[in-house]
Chains A and B, each alone.
Chain A
Amino acid sequence: MSGEPLLSEDELRALDRLRITRRRPTPTDQPGDWRTGRVGSGVLFADHRDYTPGDDLRYVDWNVYARLGHLVVKRFEIEENLELTLCVDRSLSMAGAKARAARRLAAALGYIALGRMDHVRLAFLPTVAGAPVELHRGKGRAGKFLAALEGTPDDGATAHGHDVARILSTTKRRGLAIVLSDFYEPQNLVASLAGLRTRGMDVVALHVLDTDDVDLTLGDSLLAVDRETGAEVKVDVTPTFLASLRATWHRRADSLERWCVGREIRYQRLEVHTPLWDVLAEMLGSGAAVGKAT
């Protein structure tokens, strides 16, 4: 990894103004800042309802009784902490600009979540041996969180389906899962997303795209070696081939996007050369996992 920190101090300060959003609440055991929308023992007033015997008298609204002579109880919205699972693709196909871009965005998202006292579960695809998931909570863990992101090397081949299964085996909670990957999955393009969605998680797919992947020099005769598998392919870069390659590349992204939309998975493209703040602004605009702090 580059010696330069993933996020500068200025960037960290700016991130404090953002929060993680999610499309729908998911039940957690840990009350926190996240409004779940469910009525329960939270602190945010929701509405009133008629008193029924057995209701906790602490929740009787005496002011209303004083004015109306009618017993009603106050209802409160349950607030709980967000459990954010960041799945960062560290396969060799991501090596380079894609890996850095993905990790910078993951760092930003994780930092935002930690700043809101949310749980951040950091997982790599492929998973790191022995510790498939690192759990972080609170700003105090931000340093370790960022260090883990920076220090974990790119390695291994993409097998998202298998890796996601391992990650999910470490928790039964649902939450927000953000997958940052180029989705160069030879077996099943959507294996990771499908696994997370099946668990009932709110899933965001951040498709890391690098045009360098399809930027071959016309006229070249190449022996293309797969970074992950070592497979070799003889390639003669002709105009038609180049056009076909680019079309295929776009088609795969479009295909993935269509698949996500059909399954209520938020999909966002992350062009590696796009500045981080532009990406966050785009996510802010589309409501894909990022929102302004209240």
Chain B
Amino acid sequence: MSAVLLVAAFVLAQPTALWGLAALVPIALFHLYFRRRRRVLVPFTPLLLESMGPVRREARFKRLREAASLLARMLALVCAVLALGGLRPAEAEAPVADLFVVVDADITTAARESGGATRLAHAQELARAFVRSVPTRGAGQLSALVSVLVAGQAPRLLVPPTRDLADALKRLEPALVPAPAEADLGATVALALEGAARREAARVVVLTARAFEPPRTAIALDVLGTGTTRRDQRIVELGVDHAEDGGGYAVRLAAINDEESARTRRVVVRVDGEIVASEDLTLEAGDAREVQFEVPSPRQAAWLEVELEGDDAFPGNDAVEVRLAPVPKPSVLVVHSGRVRPYVMATLEALGAEGLIDKDRSGYVRASDVTKARPRDVTLVDGVGLPRDALRPGAYVFLAPLAGALPFELGEEVRKPLIWRTVPGHPLIDGLDFRRAFVVRGRALKGAGLEPLAYAEGRPIIAEGERGGARYVVLGLDPEGSMLPVQGALVLLVRNAILRLARAPVAPLKPFYRRGEALRPEVDLPGGADADLVWDGVRKDALLAGAGRGRARARIASDGVVWRVPAGAVGRVRVATGAGTAAAWSGWTSLVDLDPARTIAPARPAAEAPPAAAARADQATRWRTLLLALAVLFLLLDLALVARARSAAAQG
């Protein structure tokens, strides 16, 4: 079998030269004739036998020498014939498959390997080596087409199919830049396979360290590794929430160690460049840990940066930046019928004491005087009807609303409801439990822009909404005569409503948005829904053109028309609305790209660069020279053996 493979591995340019092997026959016959045992009559064979004993080994060596001489002579002839026949490896003669190289330029290829070069640079060098491995036909012309594709966020044809070696290497010369986000390797490979399918013989080489399941295909497809380092600790999760006490932010961070040994990194939290917290974080090999920091509320909006200090191979996942809005202390105006109900007063006192509202700027006013009062951040209408012209754009909390100016309509009365249902997970009613509440009466709510949050006997009884610029939360229950649990829940509801309505205008955008997440504001943006977004990272549709700065125009509205953060959009983003109008508004948030599955840990061993191929013509010449040299060598060996035999005969 191996002999068959050996024969199949070589071809002859001039097969007719094999007729020269016929000369082996006379050589063999000549040898057999002259080396045959001549029959001679001797007088006394015992004399020969007696003399032969000690020299049998020499006789065997003589026969061996004769056989070696014949073999050398025949091999010399075979080598000469094969040299004349133009023997060369079959691979040098076989059509060379066109080569499609796919270089993965994923964001993780920015990882620096132990030698200091990036993984992408190594992959680029491998690509050059593969191009050089294609045999040439002389004059720098490759014997097959080569093409190099780069898998970024979108496929890019770096080297169009060419046979010009110099041109291909020139196009491969400029250093490649890793994609800002996950590269679409599958699409690029599919593109390469599509190109390869049009060729008679083609081979696709994918250079990536990432886990990649190649598609089933009849085309030769090799996936080769490009790196080895695992020296990376990375932030995989981030959470920024208002602290429970409402006075600042709680920052939660999860990190993973991909390295094969324990590593300690220092977590540093900065607000507008100033360190506000830090902690050493020791991560065992493959370990994931979570840390949490309390960050005081900044006086003004500020950038919060969380960073894993220290060195690793891939710093791209060591820091995140988010936008912190100042926690607002809204002022509250309580509109009453002439007597402030005690639980409302107690709620405001408590919020003031906790610093959640601006107590000094808050106040109470009768409904008839509300138009004369200074506007506050939130107006709490407590069981009274507003005058007709008193409803203006702003934030309102309605408790047991009566007729009057309202941004919604009142429905039928609900008495002593027993069956309650709430919208799960809504922050307004988070922590409220109506199941054991006893309520004497309430009023169903309805109207355009009203979003029910809780139902009693199947009718909306708590809701939020907006109409005519009036954002509101309404509690359609009359606290009077209700049980304490309801009153207790009412305090929470009032607090949540005041804080929700107060914060929304100040920070309509979250501190950060993830890739693919809808940039949906808490409330409609002040300047309107049509927004211009500008960020530092590249934009997906700008990648093909090689543009840098991201820019998008989208409708950013809380009513469902949203803009989703595209892959590659990272960093600070400025959202501007109402451009050119009096209601012009702009705010900042951050786009982050945290992916727990994104690791630089290689999925396969790094590949060795293939050796550069010799020119085909050179290869044929080299084989001819080698064979002729062998022929001469065998002839010299034969001559040496013959000379030795003759010398021995002469000495005898």
Check if A184 is an interface residue, CB within 8 A of chain B. Answer: yes
**CB closest chain-A residue, reference B645:** A219
Check if B94 is an interface residue, CB within 8 A of chain A. Answer: no
Interchain CB contact under 8 A, B651 and A252: no
Check if B16 is an interface residue, CB within 8 A of chain A. Answer: no
Given known A-B contacts A219-B645, A223-B37, A242 and B47 have beta carbons under 8 A apart: no
Interchain CB contact under 8 A, A234 and B44: no
Interchain CB contact under 8 A, A231 and B45: yes
Interchain CB contact under 8 A, B652 and A218: yes
Interchain CB contact under 8 A, A238 and B55: yes
A170 to B538, CA, bound (A): 135
- Size category of the B interface is 20 to 34
Given known A-B contacts A221-B37, A244-B52, A238 and B45 have beta carbons under 8 A apart: no
Check if B649 is an interface residue, CB within 8 A of chain A. Answer: yes
Interchain CB contact under 8 A, A238 and B648: yes
Per a CB cutoff under 8 Å, which of B38, B39, B43, B54 touches A213? B43
Check if B608 is an interface residue, CB within 8 A of chain A. Answer: no
Chain A nearest CB: distance from B309 CB in Å?
87
Interchain CB contact under 8 A, B58 and A240: yes
**CB closest chain-B residue, reference A251:** B50
Interchain CB contact under 8 A, A238 and B48: no
Chain B nearest CB: distance from A89 CB in Å?
11
Interchain CB contact under 8 A, B43 and A233: no
Chain A nearest CB: distance from B29 CB in Å?
16
Per a CB cutoff under 8 Å, which of A94, A186, A220, A241 touches B46? A186
Per a CB cutoff under 8 Å, which of B37, B43, B48, B646 touches A94? B43
Interchain CB contact under 8 A, A213 and B44: yes
**CB closest chain-B residue, reference A210:** B43
Q: B633-652 CB contact bits vs A (8 Å, 1 = yes)?
A: 00000000000011011011
Check if B3 is an interface residue, CB within 8 A of chain A. Answer: no
Interchain CB contact under 8 A, A233 and B54: no
**CB closest chain-A residue, reference B45:** A226
Chain A nearest CB: distance from B143 CB in Å?
54
Given known A-B contacts A238-B648, A239-B652, A233 and B48 have beta carbons under 8 A apart: yes
Chain A residues positioned under 8 Å from B426 (CB to CB): none
A218 to B159, CA, bound (A): 74
Interchain CB contact under 8 A, A184 and B39: no
Check if A152 is an interface residue, CB within 8 A of chain B. Answer: no
A106 to B598, CA, bound (A): 117
Given known A-B contacts A221-B35, A221-B38, A93 and B43 have beta carbons under 8 A apart: yes
Q: A78-90 CB contact bits vs B (8 Å, 1 = yes)?
A: 0000000000000
Check if B63 is an interface residue, CB within 8 A of chain A. Answer: yes
Between A and B, how many residue pairs show CB distances below 8 Å?
Answer: 111
Chain A nearest CB: distance from B609 CB in Å?
57
Interchain CB contact under 8 A, B43 and A225: no
A234 to B55, CA, bound (A): 13
**CB closest chain-B residue, reference A182:** B43
Per a CB cutoff under 8 Å, which of B35, B39, B41, B648 touches A227? B41
Interchain CB contact under 8 A, A244 and B44: no
A278 to B160, CA, bound (A): 105
Interchain CB contact under 8 A, A222 and B51: no
Interchain CB contact under 8 A, A93 and B44: yes
Check if B59 is an interface residue, CB within 8 A of chain A. Answer: yes
Interchain CB contact under 8 A, A244 and B42: no
Check if B553 is an interface residue, CB within 8 A of chain A. Answer: no
Interchain CB contact under 8 A, B51 and A248: yes
Chain B residues positioned under 8 Å from A281 (CB to CB): none
Check if B40 is an interface residue, CB within 8 A of chain A. Answer: yes
Chain A nearest CB: distance from B587 CB in Å?
107
Per a CB cutoff under 8 Å, which of A219, A226, A244 touches B55? A244
Check if A57 is an interface residue, CB within 8 A of chain B. Answer: no
Per a CB cutoff under 8 Å, which of A98, A220, A240, A248 touches B50? A248
Check if B341 is an interface residue, CB within 8 A of chain A. Answer: no
Chain B residues positioned under 8 Å from A92 (CB to CB): 43
Interchain CB contact under 8 A, A241 and B51: yes
A207 to B41, CA, bound (A): 21
A residues 7-27 in Cβ contact with B at 8 Å = none
A19 to B83, CA, bound (A): 81
A236 to B51, CA, bound (A): 11
**CB closest chain-A residue, reference B63:** A236
B residues 40-86 in Cβ contact with A at 8 Å = 40-52, 54-55, 58-59, 62-63
Check if A229 is an interface residue, CB within 8 A of chain B. Answer: yes
A243 to B177, CA, bound (A): 85
Check if A135 is an interface residue, CB within 8 A of chain B. Answer: no
A234 to B38, CA, bound (A): 9
Chain B residues positioned under 8 Å from A182 (CB to CB): 43-44
A142 to B386, CA, bound (A): 183
Interchain CB contact under 8 A, B55 and A241: yes
Interchain CB contact under 8 A, A245 and B47: yes
Interchain CB contact under 8 A, B48 and A235: yes
Interchain CB contact under 8 A, A224 and B42: yes
Interchain CB contact under 8 A, A239 and B648: yes
A242 to B62, CA, bound (A): 14
Chain B residues positioned under 8 Å from A231 (CB to CB): 45
**CB closest chain-B residue, reference A237:** B652
* A-B pairs with beta carbons under 8 Å apart, 22 shown: A93-B44, A94-B43, A95-B43, A182-B43, A184-B43, A184-B47, A214-B47, A218-B648, A219-B649, A226-B44, A227-B41, A227-B42, A229-B45, A236-B58, A238-B58, A238-B62, A239-B648, A240-B58, A244-B51, A244-B52, A244-B54, A248-B51
Top 5 A-B pairs, shortest CB-CB distance:
A93-B43, A239-B652, A218-B652, A236-B59, A184-B44
Identify the A interface with B (CB < 8 A).
92-95, 98, 182, 184, 186, 213-214, 218-229, 231-245, 247-249, 252
